[in-house]
């Protein structure tokens, strides 16, 4: 990976600052991807057609079952290198409506899907993507890991290895999908696809970099804190 650049940790919220909206944070732990994805789509549809401004927005934080997701930019079979290995390990392929190409999700990854209504001053999707990256950078910093952006691609890297991916969908100004942070576990299935359209893309995890165990609940707590701050949202109890 070339053109890596270290960025200053800075809050990049929209120019207009308003009172925080409240969101319900759902943390179901490890769940089947198909189940949580359908839940996200249902929430998007409900919020997108709601006339009640008090309808609850959500942030979904979870650890997914193994799956390869194909975004709107994926080129079908050209995104898959080892179809037989995916089948052998029971890894499904799932077409989704986010931007980007193919990626792998599975145990050891922490995914965050904000399902929120964007107000007029929040409708700069470039800023929203940068805020998702910023939440990752700040979370890595809590473990003294120095993350980087790539000026040509979304996501976060450490050196020349990718440690997090970012991809969004927006329907009627309601967001879906979000980010995946690679905390621990076996990420070998990345080798069986062309992740995010990047050939020979190296993947790393927080545990690999630190050489010690990293608990997902601890990472989830810090990621939630940074994400809510950057999205200008406040958690409400269910």
Q: What is the CA radius of gyration of the chain?
A: 17
What stretches of the chain show up as alpha helix (H) in DSSP? 33-48, 83-88, 125-142, 206-210, 216-231
Q: Of 75, 73, 76, 105, which Cα lies nearest the Cα of 92? A: 105
DSSP letters along 187-215, please? Answer: -GGGGGB-GGG-TT-EE--HHHHHTS---
Structure confidence at residue 52 (pLDDT): 61
pLDDT, mean of each 10-residue run, the chain (238 residues): 40 46 94 95 90 79 94 69 87 83 93 94 92 98 97 92 94 94 94 83 96 97 98 88
Instruction: List, by residue number, the catalytic residues.
Output: 196
- Cα distances (angstroms) measured from residue 72 to each of 90, 143, 196: 23, 33, 11
Q: Is the pTM for the entire model greater than 0.75?
A: yes
CA–CA dist 60, 224 (Å, integer): 10
Strand arrangement, sheet containing 102-105: 92-95, 67-70, 102-105
CA–CA dist 26, 200 (Å, integer): 35
Which domains, ranges and CATH numbers included, belong to the chain? 4-235 (3.30.930.10)
Place of tokens 């939630």: 224
């Amino acid at each position: 990976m070339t053109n890596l650049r270290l960025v200053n940790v800075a809050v990049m919220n929209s120019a207009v600052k308003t009172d925080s909206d409240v969101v319900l944070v759902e943390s179901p732990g490890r769940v089947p991807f198909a189940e949580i994805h359908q839940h996200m789509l249902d929430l998007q549809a409900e919020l997108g057609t709601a006339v009640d401004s008090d309808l609850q927005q959500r942030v979904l934080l979870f650890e997914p079952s193994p799956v390869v997701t194909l975004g709107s930019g994926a080129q079908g079979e050209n995104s898959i290198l080892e179809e037989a290995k995916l089948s052998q390990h029971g890894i499904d392929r799932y077409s989704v409506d986010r931007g980007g190409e193919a990626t792998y999700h599975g145990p050891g990854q922490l995914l965050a899907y904000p399902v929120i209504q964007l107000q007029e001053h929040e409708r700069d999707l470039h800023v929203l993507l940068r805020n998702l990256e910023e939440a990752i950078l700040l979370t890595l910093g809590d473990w003294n890991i120095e993350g980087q952006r790539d000026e040509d691609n979304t996501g976060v890297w450490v050196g020349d290895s990718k440690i997090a991916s970012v991809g969004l969908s927006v329907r009627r100004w309601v967001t879906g999908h979000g980010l995946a942070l690679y905390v621990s576990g076996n990420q070998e299935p990345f080798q069986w696809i062309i992740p995010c359209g990047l050939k020979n893309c190296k993947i790393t995890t927080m545990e690999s970099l630190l050489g010690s165990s990293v608990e997902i609940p601890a990472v989830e707590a810090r990621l939630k804190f940074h994400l809510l701050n950057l999205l200008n949202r406040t958690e409400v109890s269910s």
